[in-house]
Amino acid sequence: MLGDLAFDLAARGHEVTVITSRQLYQDSNARLAARESLAGVEVLRVRTSTFGRAWLPGRALDYLTFYLSAFLALWRVVRADVTVVAKTDPPLVSVPAALVCRLRRARLVNWLQDLFPEVAQAAGARFAQGWSGRLLAWLRDRSLARAACNVVLGEGMAARLRARGVPGERIAVIPNWADGEAIRPLEHAANPLRRDWGLGESFVAAYSGNMGRAHEFETIVNAARRLRHEPGVRFVLIGDGRWRAWIEDQVRRDRLDAVLLKPYQRRESLAMSLGLADVHLVSLRPCMEGLMVPSKVYGVVAAGRPLVYIGDPGGETARIVSHHDIGIAVREGDAAALAAALLELRADPRRRLAMGARARALFEAEYDKSIALAKWGATLRTGGDFPAGPRGIDSERSPG
């Protein structure tokens, strides 16, 4: 997402700098170049500790050292004619960004992929409870109140911010997106991954993306247990995260041969990995409703596939699925309903195709990359009470 926005702004003639770390998402020991120019975007990579994502205290230290290093880097490059886009992850990055912007009299736009510390509280993290959680929320709220604009992914997130006292005129809803040119509906016969992964003519239910704490997999694994003797039904789970090891253990212990696990796929392979499914699985724990949006939905609808949403049937994503008739929503924990939904969709290819066609039409109307980038351009030009002209987006350096 960040790359798409940064490269688009640079292509339009803006001076763009990205401040990030030297690690890779799945490799904390990576040592990327401290400075690099990519397609007109200057990338500054700062030093941090390197504990990685698996151990929560270590991840917190990585965040703290990033905040310090990013603050110093921002201080060096930010001036009064700059717009800073502060994008989570890491959480609370808006706090050091807001301090720099206040001191430098620069313009701050926060890009919230989730709401922290509420996400940590919902996940049961002890450090986010009690007085420490209230302190973190207070710091976050002050940084949002000082921003020219706060961009969130859905109406549920916007409602949460308004309830916290963030003025509605300083909130913009811009969903994440997928690239509709790169990800298009692909027939199974034209998809080499179906052959390479030994899927043949199977009916495939796929999950593609983060397997982290916000998502739920017991329902999926239990549905796979229920369907283990159903001929021609396969589950393909693509990605990584906290739940991956547990899934592998369950598959190995119960000999769930119909379940295939694969790592994250390269961006250029997404059309094939998303297109190999007959139906996609998307999950979000009900306690996370309004705190984040499962962005894997956008790739699914770009690929023209129906989906089964596992979570709160009354939640925002479930309402979209139901309103546009692009899939089925089932309650978290109801493995019988998930198994029944998959058998129902397997038995009705015409319905699946119709759902997939509606999904692609919805994508082209609301979630294509070009639509989102146009919204971002308008937000950066007009969001908040900063004037256009010399300090507008048309003439500024834009660190993200």
Domain span holding position 128: 2-177+368-395
Residue 37 Cα distances to 10, 18, 43, 45, angstroms: 11, 10, 6, 11
pLDDT tens figures, 161-174: 999 999 999 999 99
Q: How many domains does the chain have?
A: 2
Whether 383 and 287 share a structural domain: no
- pLDDT higher than 90, residue 189: yes
Token representation of residue 31: 């040592």
The confidence score (pLDDT) of residue 383 equals 58
Residue 114 Cα distances to 160, 177, 306, angstroms: 11, 15, 25
> Which of 339, 296, 300, 326 minimizes the C-alpha distance to 113?
296
pLDDT tens figures, 105-136: 999 999 999 999 999 999 888 888 999 999 99
Cβ–Cβ < 8 Å for 306, 356: yes
The confidence score (pLDDT) of residue 391 equals 30
Whether 245 and 317 share a structural domain: yes
In a domain, 182, yes or no: no
In a domain, 76, yes or no: yes
In a domain, 353, yes or no: yes
Distance CA 373, CA 110 (A): 16
Any idea what DSSP says for residue 125? Answer: -
Maximal C-alpha separation, the chain: 67
Any idea what DSSP says for residue 263? Answer: P
In a domain, 91, yes or no: yes
Higher pLDDT, 70 or 399: 70
Whether 111 and 50 share a structural domain: yes
The confidence score (pLDDT) of residue 30 equals 82
CATH number for the domain that contains residue 235? 3.40.50.2000
Whether 231 and 140 share a structural domain: no
* Average pLDDT over the chain, rounded to an integer: 92
Read off φ and ψ for residue 166, nearest 5 degrees.
Answer: -75, 125
Distance CA 3, CA 19 (A): 12
Any idea what DSSP says for residue 265? Answer: P
Cβ–Cβ < 8 Å for 81, 397: yes
Whether 31 and 93 share a structural domain: yes
pLDDT tens figures, 284-334: 999 999 999 999 999 999 999 999 999 999 999 999 999 999 999 999 999
Whether 267 and 361 share a structural domain: yes
Whether 254 and 298 share a structural domain: yes
pLDDT tens figures, 17-75: 999 999 887 787 888 999 999 999 999 999 998 888 777 788 889 889 999 999 999 99
